[in-house]
């Protein structure tokens, strides 16, 4: 008889029983990792939002700085233009004071106020610095809308203004007007020439009816003082 091979008993895998402590650690790890990645996602979103806000603030600041620089540049250019305007008129104003008696500061302040430092259309195109009007029949007249103070209020009307060939011609004509008066009243502006300082001459312009603006004298005086125009006045000879 053949011998039977002896068979070894099969090994059975032992079931590994994990301790409750291990299972608790595993649960805690899963819970921690889930919360961690969830929180990390929130942090990332928060950082992105924060970055976007910071970027917006920086962009707004830079844009505002550019606007401020542009405004400051524009102000400096405007101031330079005004100074050039005054500088150009000073010699003529001083010469006319010596010849006619109208203070250089008053002549300059009127030109600056009436013409907006030479930038008005009447001044830039027709060289009329003082808003001097003319007869409607004047063939060289220039028609412009203007504000007049009538019956306690400002109204806009169309009126005829004189045309000149240069600012210097306009200044000389203005001085002659103050000295010679109007065709109907040669003493129209005598109060101006009687003034011994710029305050009195400015008040003389208003009391003589040079302009309908009730604050005209104050505006002239303020212009003189803001720009220190009295430094250009010549010694009074009368």
Query: pLDDT tens per residue, the chain (238 residues)?
Result: 555 555 565 555 555 555 676 777 767 766 666 666 666 777 777 788 878 888 887 878 777 777 778 788 888 999 999 999 999 999 999 999 999 999 999 999 999 999 999 999 999 999 999 999 999 999 999 999 888 888 888 888 889 999 999 999 999 999 999 999 998 999 999 999 999 999 999 999 999 999 889 999 999 999 999 999 999 999 876 5
182: left (phi over 0), alpha (psi -120 to 50) or beta: beta
Burial class (CB in 10 A: 0-12, 13-18, 19+), 73: exposed
Rounded Cα gap, residues 106 and 174, in angstroms = 11
Under DSSP, is residue 77 helix (H, G, I), strand (E, B) or coil?
Answer: helix
Q: Is CATH 1.10.530.10 what the domain over 77-131+163-232 is classified as, yes or no?
A: yes
pTM of the full structure: 0.69
Are the beta carbons of 29 and 36 closer than 8 angstroms? no
Q: Domain segments of the chain: what residues?
A: 77-131+163-232
Paired with 160 in beta bridges are 143
């Amino acid at each position: 008889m053949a011998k039977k091979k002896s068979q070894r008993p099969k090994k059975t895998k032992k079931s590994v029983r994990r301790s409750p402590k291990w299972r608790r650690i595993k649960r805690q790890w899963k819970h921690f990792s889930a919360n961690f990645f969830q929180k990390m996602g929130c942090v990332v979103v928060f950082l992105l939002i924060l970055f976007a806000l910071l970027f917006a603030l920086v962009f707004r600041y830079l844009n505002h700085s550019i606007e401020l620089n542009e405004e400051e540049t524009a102000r400096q250019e405007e101031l330079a233009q005004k100074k050039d305007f005054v500088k150009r008129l000073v010699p003529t104003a001083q010469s006319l004071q010596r010849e006619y008696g109208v203070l250089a500061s008053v002549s300059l302040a009127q030109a600056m106020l009436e013409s907006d430092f030479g930038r008005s259309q009447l001044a830039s195109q027709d060289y009329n610095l003082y808003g001097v009007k003319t007869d409607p029949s004047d063939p060289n007249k220039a028609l412009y809308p203007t504000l007049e103070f009538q019956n306690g209020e400002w109204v806009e009307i169309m009126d005829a203004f004189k045309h000149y060939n240069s600012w210097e011609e306009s200044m000389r004509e203005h001085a002659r007007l103050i000295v010679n008066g109007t065709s109907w009243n040669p003493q129209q502006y005598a109060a101006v020439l009687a003034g011994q300082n710029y305050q009195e001459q400015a008040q003389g312009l208003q009391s003589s009816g040079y302009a309908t603006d009730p604050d005209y004298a104050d505006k002239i005086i303020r212009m003189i003082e803001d720009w220190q125009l009295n430094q250009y006045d010549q010694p009074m000879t009368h």
